[in-house]
Amino acid sequence: MMDTRFLRWITLTATGLSLIGLIISALMGLQVALGFGLGAALAVGNLWLLSRLGARLLEGDARSKGRLVGLFMLKFTLFIGIIFGVTLGLPTHPLALMAGLSVVLLAILLGALIGPSPARGGA
């Protein structure tokens, strides 16, 4: 079993940063708020899905690993397709969308600086 404290910290921090960013971006207009909100939702959702698939991959048997790798590839393809569709089909500000997609990266950086340290010895 892997230690999930750090991953939970990252997820909660990214969610908090998303809410703060959404409030600030709402002051800048609907296009900015929509772009940031969709980007942040996609980023946090992607993190959650990756953590679930990663945990199943680490705990699964050899036969299920091929199927899980296929799910990773499907998730990646859908993620790129959704970003493409949002960029072309919705009235979002592209820089706000990229800022929203970056909240997980900022949360990881903060986690490395001030977050909980992962358990030693892999437990």
Residue 39 lies in a domain: yes
Full residue range of the structural domain in which residue 24 is found: 5-115
In a domain, 121, yes or no: no
Q: Is the pLDDT of residue 114 over 90?
A: yes
Which of the 8 DSSP states describes residue 1?
Answer: -
Three-state DSSP class for residue 61: coil
pTM of the model as a whole:
0.86
Average pLDDT over residues 59-82: 87
- State the total domains in the chain: 1
Looking at residue 122, its pLDDT comes to: 46
Domain membership of residue 25 (yes or no) is: yes
